[in-house]
Structure 1
Amino acid sequence: MAYGAEMLRWFSEEAVRIGGDQATSVDGNTRIMITKEPVGPCVLVTPWNFPLAMGARKIAPAVAAGCTMVFKPAELTPLTSLALVQIFREAGLPDGVLNVVTTANASSVVGTWMGSGIARKVSFTGSTEVGKILLRQAADNVMRSSMELGGNAPFIVLADADIEKAVDGALKAKMRNMGEACTAANRFFVHRSVAGEFSEKFAKRISELQVGNGALEGTDVGPLIEQKGLDKVQALVADAVAKGARILTGGSRPEGPGYFYIPTVLTDVSQDAELMRTEIFGPVAAITVFDGEDEVLRLANDTEWGLVGYVFTENMDKALRFSAELEVGMVGLNTGIVSNHAAPFGGVKQSGLGREGGKIGIEEFLEIKYTALAI
């Protein structure tokens, strides 16, 4: 809720800072005027894991830029998105500017919008697989595209790291939203000299988290979103254990109904385990030991995704080296949280195109126009 509200505050301020430029041509005969205009009608498609914040992160810059929108929220979380749209109406946004359609048949609805020739921009947050489909559809009408897709974030603990700080950061990077976040740390690479201490302390902190109904006081970890998500987590853990991983804590479901999974820490995870190549989207941390910095950079970058990476070290030279060499769009240095309304959010490789938030966020919804004025 707070993150979504800050997106609205941020882009309300950016709305009055849409700039341009003017200059005189080299030959002195023309005044060059650069202005920015709304890109046009936008298709906005959001996921279920942060239903209010993801909607606000797209709607806010579109409104600030002066665009109209058709908004398709996730099938699993429509009510929060409907409430968000109602808030905009109550705040005075004119009818027709923001239009919302809930559906269990997303491909049919969004496909119609994409093929209409009316929409000039698509902004999508979700899986890389669906993002590729939307990019193909966008190509037919040469639509502007913003894609915030999957992640497989490495979390690197170097030999000189502050272990207490690293454990705290790991807990935040892994367990935010039960691990159901594109920024969640999936692959934990820990230097051999501190692997035992980090693993023991991290597993202890994870084991102390209380699993249960989120409406009850004292609950730290709620359920996964649906049965499919639970089945995926169980299968990934079983595969890793079959390939030699050890369970330090968790590794099973609690008794009773619901899509709950006990927060899990695995160690001695093989590089050929499926969870090293797959976005887990659940409360499972996979720890691998490394010896050299070149080795861990190679392992961290050995993925088709490049959204975010986390590095813990007390050496600034190493911190800057890893920030430069990690093939990601965002880096958390000695922190497990990177999301910030004032910063550009997005990835490289198959983690997406474009950025949301920060000063650049509104540019995704603007076109540049050049006017030549004879002097």
Structure 2
Amino acid sequence: MGHTVPPLKDKSLFIEKAFVNGEFVDAASGEKFEVHDPSDGKLIGTCPEFSAADTEKAIEAAAAAFPSFRATLARERARMLRRWYQLMLDNLDDLATLITWENGKPLPDAKGEVNYAASFFEWFSEEAPRVYGDTIPASVPGNRIYTIREPVGVCGLITPWNFPAAMITRKIAPALAAGCTVVCKSPGETPFTANAIAELARRAGIPKGVVNIVTANKNTVQVGEILTTHPTIRKVSFTGSTGVGKLLMKQSSSTLKKVSFELGGNAPFIVFDDTPDLDGAVAAAIASKFRSSGQTCVCANRIYVQRGIYEAFAAKFTEKVKTFKLGPGFTPGVTHGPVIHGRAIEKVEQHVQDATSKGAKVLIGGQRASELGPNFYNPTVLINMTGDMRIASEETFGPVAGLFPFDTEEDVVRLANKAEVGLAGYFFTNDLKRAYRVAEALEVGMVGINTGIISDPALPFGGVKQSGFGREGSSWGIDEFLVTKAITIGGIANLKI
């Protein structure tokens, strides 16, 4: 089943190249990889298959640009980011079209992502002039200590396909605000959004070499290796799976890089029976679970509902899912699109089959929607979930909601914390003491109380345990790209005034 892709208002934003030293370029080999529309499998276009040697040229460009960029006034860097922010808003429709085309999410979701992505340029434009140091009383008489915070250097950024715009801006914005230059590896599934953002950087007056975007699909492993081992790169920021994060961390250790990793999640969403607004809890759980068809790292993955309200919650939840409209992202009225590719739909299918084979019951969905295309899976609700099912311990990354019953607060906190990862957790309650207790007991980096959506440029985004470390967004986000230099001045008591 095909679908009509709306034409771009500015056709020059569709770019089948990589971006190095202010120019759009091909790989030295001339090799390219294909990018396909997840809705119908049709070819969107091609991008250069960069090698390690091609990537090295981008690293050299970033290194050459660094001395003058770090010396640029913070206020001037702020203005560049502000211009870039405005250009993203000015081109919102085209950027959203590219996101829906290559990622598959419905167009209204894609527009929301462009606003969210742009907000990081706005936020960090405001943080750039506010990189403060300290003056510290010394214990040696006559000495003075003060600190300055400096950009860490050239940064290697590796981003995923599920938010083709926001995952890139959330890393590039603080890096530039801090005075760093970057080499960003865009996802092989969704390179065109990144290229359009790079073109807007050029229009915003960001100097050559400050932002470089490398593209690769088959060569992703060798590009990742050069970004994590090249001595010129001082910092690596990666968003993706825990398994890949462990490999990149190991590689980064060869040159002791500063690293921040935002890795997999397995978010618990807990509904206590004292919840005053069951409909509100259902709506929040739906928003958290099914956003981008369940392909976000902070999605509700395990939904725990206290036994007294379990049946009522399951019924209301299923009624909401019945209102979804599955289809290609450009079709008016569609609420949920395809998953990204064949491997993703196979994992979803395996998780559902595993759960049903162990006693789970399907209330709605439970199978592919092959009539729509190869990557469509019907939004699914499963009840009677138990801890031995794969959904209890693995991130599904698809449109499947498993509802687990629980008895006591103590039980559910123990179950929620059983995961190796700890990114986000959510719960609904009307008890203030419980709100504090459970928020502090959950082993996650971010908690949502009586809400299912926590993403915000002001939020320090990140996890604990095997969900990684470091924070993105917020005033903490720029810290990841800065190093502290301590300066001691001796004998100032003897200075002649």
Q: Which TM class, normalised by the smaller chain length?
A: over 0.9
1:197 is matched with which residue: 289, 312, 319? 312
Out of 237, 240, 243, the residue aligned to residue 352 of structure 2 is 237
Q: What is aligned with 1:167? A: 282
Q: Secondary structure at the match of 2:327?
A: coil
For 2:402, the equivalent position in structure 1 comes to 286
Aligned to 1:49: 162
Q: Does 1:110 align with 2:220?
A: no
Which residue of structure 2 aligns with residue 318 of structure 1? 434
- Give the superposition deviation at 1:258: 3.0
Aligned partners of 2:480 and 2:468: how far apart in 1?
A: 13
Give the equivalent residue in structure 1 for 2:17: none
- 1:151-166 superposed matches below 5 A: 151-161=265-275, 162-166=277-281
Residues 226-265 of structure 1 aligned to structure 2 (within 5 Å): 226-256=341-371, 257-265=373-381
Conservation of the 8 A alpha-carbon contact between 2:159 and 2:168: yes
Q: 1:16-95 maps to which residues of 2 (within 5 A)?
A: 16-95=129-208
Given the two structures, how large is their TM-score scaled by the length of structure 2?
0.75
Letter in structure 2 aligned against 1:277: S
Distance, in Å, in 1 between the alignment partners of 2:226 and 2:470 is 23
How far is the alpha carbon of 1:357 from its aligned partner?
A: 0.5
* CA distance in structure 1 between the partners assigned to 2:293 and 2:261 by the alignment: 23
> C-alpha separation between the residues in 2 aligned to 1:298 and 1:160?
19
Q: SS state of the match for residue 221, structure 2? A: helix
Residue type at the aligned position of 1:112: I
- Matched with 1:274 is 390
Deviations 1:65-118 (A, max 9, x none): 000111101110000011111111110010111111100111101212222211
Q: 1:23: Cα distance to partner?
A: 3.1
SS across alignment from 2:140: coil
Q: Is the alpha carbon distance of 1:130 and 1:255 closer, same or farther for their aligned partners in structure 2, counting shifts above 3 Å?
A: closer
Alignment match, 2:414:
298
The answer (yes or no) to whether the contact 1:154–1:189 under 8 Å persists in 2 is yes
Q: Secondary structure at the match of 1:266?
A: strand
8 Å CA contact 2:446–2:461 kept in 1: the answer is: yes
User: In the TM superposition, what whole-angstrom CA distance separates every residue of 1:184-224 from its partner, at most 9, and x where no partner exists?
Assistant: 00101100000011010001101210101111111011000
Q: Distance in 2 between matches of 1:263 and 1:10?
A: 35
**Could you report, residue by residue, the CA deviation over 1:291-347 in whole angstroms, capped at 9, with x for unpaired residues?**
111000000000101000000001111111110000000000000001110110000
Do the aligned partners of 2:363 and 2:380 also contact (CA within 8 Å) in 1? yes
In structure 1, what is the equivalent of residue 300 of structure 2?
185
8 Å CA contact retained: 2:227, 2:236? no
8 Å contact from structure 1 (residues 148, 352) kept in 2 = yes
- Runs of 4 or more consecutive aligned structure 1 residues displaced over 2 Å after TM superposition: none
Compute the displacement of 1:31 (Å).
Answer: 1.1
Is 1:333 paired with 2:449? yes
Q: Secondary structure at the match of 1:360?
A: helix
Structure 2 stretches lacking a partner, 5+ long: 1-113, 493-497
In 2, the alpha carbon distance for the partners of 1:111 and 1:254 equals 38
Shift, 1:276, TM fit: 1.1
Residue identity matched to 1:275:
I
- 1:342 and 1:299 map into 2 onto residues whose CA distance is 30
Superposed CA offset, 1:249-279 (max 9, x none)? 1111224123111111100012101111111
Return the alpha-carbon distance in structure 1 between the equivalents of residues 244 and 318 of structure 2.
34
The answer to whether 1:148 aligns with 2:272 is: no
Contact 1:207 1:250 in 2 (8 A): no
CA distance in 2, matches of 1:24, 1:267: 61
User: Does the aligned pair in 1 maintain the 2:326–2:335 contact within 8 Å?
Assistant: yes
TM-score, normalized by length of structure 1? 0.99
Within 1, Cα distance between the matches of 2:263 and 2:394?
Answer: 13
Give the whole-Å Cα distance in 1 for the aligned partners of 2:273 and 2:223.
Answer: 51
Identity %, equivalent residues: 47
Equivalence map 1:335-374=2 (5 Å): 335-374=451-490
Residues 99-138 of structure 1 show CA distances to partners (whole Å, capped at 9, x for unaligned) of 1110011110121222221100000000000000110011
Bigger radius of gyration: 2
| Counterparts of 1:261 and 1:344, CA distance in 2 | 33
Per the alignment, in what secondary structure is the counterpart of residue 214 of structure 1? coil
- Aligned counterpart, 2:58: none
Q: Given residue 300 of structure 1, which amino acid in structure 2 is its aligned partner? A: A
Count of paired positions: 375
Q: Does 1:99 align with 2:215?
A: no
Q: Distance in 2 between matches of 1:71 and 1:255?
A: 35
Tell whether 2:241 aligns with 1:137.
no
Q: 1:27 deviation in Å?
A: 3.3
Residue in structure 1 matched with residue 242 of structure 2 by the alignment:
128
Could you tell me which amino acid in structure 1 is paired with residue 477 of structure 2? G
Q: How far apart in 2 are the matches of 1:58 and 1:6?
A: 12
